[in-house]
Amino acid sequence: MLGVCWVSVMLPVCAEAQVYAYVDDHGSTHFSDQPRHKGYKKHQPKRRPGTRSKYARSSENPAAWDGLIERKGLAYGVSPALVKAVIRAESNFNRYAVSRVGAQGLMQLMPGTAAQLGVKDPFSPAENIDGGTRYLSYLMKRFPKDPSLALAAYNAGENAVLRFAGVPPYPETRQYVKRVLRFYRTYDADFR
């Protein structure tokens, strides 16, 4: 079962201190400024200059990824239009986007989630879309009766959706679900 590791660690762009990461037996990633035991390894987040905001403008053509999105969507049983809508909401097609909490790439994968999904380079469109689509597919199967719940889980985590027995009352998550569904209707014609 795939789980989300929602890490609330803010890694500065120009850090002087070294950051260490450790993945425990349950697949959770732990970060520290000091290695607490030999399992911690130096962590170098992959960043590109000027890409801190997940809502940065994209210089990429949104249609550039359509072939890849369609292949991955069909491979994992997710509507390609929905995958494209998630990418638009998450990164605005900026493959180098990094959020304030460290989510990376087109589908804004957290480092722990990316590691669980086998994504080695979150800025690689092929790896990011593959991992993000697999994760979205998992969530759609986890919450099969309502795609809004899968989208809410993608944004806020599975546990939040389970705890509130629905879309959590977080304004960001509620807006996210509405935005993705609006984009989904827009992109549906792209894949017919």
Residue 90 falls in the annotated catalytic set: yes
- Looking at domain 45-191, its CATH class is mainly alpha
Interatomic CA distance for residues 115 and 110, integer angstroms: 9
Q: What are the residues whose beta carbons fall under 8 Å from the beta carbon of 8, sequence distance 6 or more?
A: 101
Tokens representing residue 30 in the block: 């732990």
Label the pairing between strands 41-43 and 29-32: unpaired
**Where are the domains positioned within the chain?**
45-191
pLDDT in tens, 158-179: 999 999 999 999 999 999 999 9
pLDDT in tens, 76-123: 999 999 999 999 999 999 999 999 889 999 999 999 999 999 999 999
Catalytic residue of the set 16, 70, 90, 172? 90
pLDDT in tens, 63-73: 889 999 999 99
Edge-to-edge strands of the sheet including 19-23?
Answer: 29-32, 19-23, 41-43
Quick one: average pLDDT of 11-31? 53
Let me know: does 20 contact 111? Beta carbons within 8 Å: no
pLDDT in tens, 35-79: 777 776 765 555 444 444 444 455 578 888 999 999 999 999 999
